[in-house]
Amino acid sequence: MRVAFIGIRSVPGRYGGFETVATQLAPRLVKRGCDLTVYCQRRYTQPPRPATFEGVKLIHLPSLHRQALEETSHEAVSLAHALTRRYDLLYVFGMRATTLFAPIALTRKNVVFNTDGHDWQRRKWGPFARKYLLFSEKVGTRIAPDRLIADSKGIAAYFTDTYGVTPTYIPYGAPEVDPPDPSILSRFGLRPKEYMLVLCRLEPENNIDLIIRAFDRARPARELAIVGGVNYGNEYIERLRAMASDRVRFLGTVYDPDAVDALYHHSYAYLHGHEVGGTNPSLLHSMGAGACVLANDVVYNREVLGDAGLYWEPSIERLAELMTSLGDDPERAATLGREAQVRAKALYDWDAISDRYMEYFEALIKARRRERDRGQ
């Protein structure tokens, strides 16, 4: 079974949700007998660029260095390259450039789209980009209505209600994190349980500005550590830095997996402000690490976290109240962290999820081969 992943910046992942997913999923599919190739962007992989990662073949191709065109341009060159290979299936992460795949999909090629989570609603995009992304979502749904994967039940319901199609629901997984060495925190000037954590790309739809304002209003007896960056400079980060007090620490991007595990596990609480998207890998990672989670109260976060965390509406007042009450109750914070870890292990096991992907890909390929044989 020859499969290619398209729409990924890099493997191993360093730059976002899709990359985290591909880094976990692709090697597991290889172990299950899949011949798997991931198309990566040269910009996000430093020389010497490896040809493989844990048995996964890597192909590094260029992209345009502009925020609105980077991913679409890379998908275009990836598709052009993929058409020179005899893949049984192309798995496209996101629906940003479905117009490129329309002619291929209409010839009954196996093109599967990950629906992602309302990319057109992200506040970082301008009006034209939003309209294009929504149009691309409509095109992808039309050309591959029976070849859509949704990582969230909420996202699957949206596609059913909006387009009358039912994507296959396969969530992402959560890593199993053993208690990391607390001494790792010393490189960041932090101590266990003496900080609250934000770890994400610093983009408006993740509500870091609201979190900072709530933190400065509550003034808990801890620091706020913000880990992350953006792929392109913007004014949003400058506004964040300008509004933050000296108790807010901007740590930049952190790529070392052990350090990321330690930051999650040893935090007093992890603040998840994401408002767009389905099953979010950073939320799953925090749960797998046993962090106490305070999540933005949207349907996708509730679906993943359930009763194993606390929720806040997009409100400075509500989040400040939670920070204050939780800050005075370390036993409750520890209990919620343990409950989140148990839930992650029970519902979001990467090996079980990899089995579901393998079964889905195999069934689709076998069905297409039967169609081809009948045509002959």
Structural domain of residue 307, as residue ranges?
A: 182-347
Q: Say what the pLDDT of residue 215 is.
A: 97
pTM, whole model, 2 decimals?
A: 0.92
Of 11, 141, 5, nearest to 82 by C-alpha is 5
Sequence length of the chain is 376
Residues 330 and 366 in one domain: no
Confidence at residue 95, expressed as pLDDT on a 0 to 100 scale: 87
Task: Judge if 247 and 342 occupy the same domain.
Answer: yes
Judge if 35 and 168 occupy the same domain: yes
Q: Are residues 221 and 146 in the same domain?
A: no
Mean pLDDT of all residues in 152-157: 94
Q: Which amino acid is at 298?
A: V
Is the domain of 16 the same as that of 72? yes
In degrees and rounded to multiples of 5, residue 261 shows phi and psi of: -60, -45
pLDDT at 376 over 60: no
Min mean pLDDT across 3-7, 268-272, 313-317 is at 313-317
What is the chain's alpha carbon radius of gyration, rounded to the nearest angstrom?
21
Q: Within this chain, do residues 107 and 222 fall inside the same structural domain, yes or no?
A: no
CATH number of the CATH domain containing 128: 3.40.50.2000
Residue 120: the pLDDT is 62
DSSP assignments along 204-253, one per residue: GGG-HHHHHHHHHHH--SSEEEEE---SS--HHHHHHHHH--TTEEEEE-
| pLDDT > 80? residue 14 | no
Q: Which helix (H) or strand (E) holds 156?
A: helix 153-163
Q: Is-contact 94 78, C-beta < 8 A? A: no
Give the per-residue pLDDT at 164.
96
Long-range contacts for 312-315 (Cβ within 8 Å, ≥24 apart)?
Answer: 312/214, 314/207, 314/210, 314/275, 315/210
Q: Which has more pLDDT, 125 or 174?
A: 174
Encode pLDDT of 46-55 as tens digits: 788 899 999 9
239 and 250 inside one domain: yes
Q: Do residues 82 and 142 both lie within one domain?
A: yes
Contact 37, 56 (CB under 8 A): yes
Residues 238 and 357 in one domain: no
Q: Do both 166 and 192 map to the same domain?
A: no
So what's the pLDDT on residue 29? 98
The pLDDT tens digits for 69-124 are 888 899 999 999 998 999 999 999 988 888 788 777 656 568 999 998 677 667 67
Tell me, yes or no, whether 17 and 94 share the same domain: yes
Provide the pLDDT for residue 277.
77
Q: How many domains, the chain?
A: 2
| 11 and 143 housed in the same domain | yes
Distances 179 to 128, 189, 260, 264 between C-alpha atoms, Å: 46, 19, 12, 10
What does pLDDT average to over the chain?
A: 91
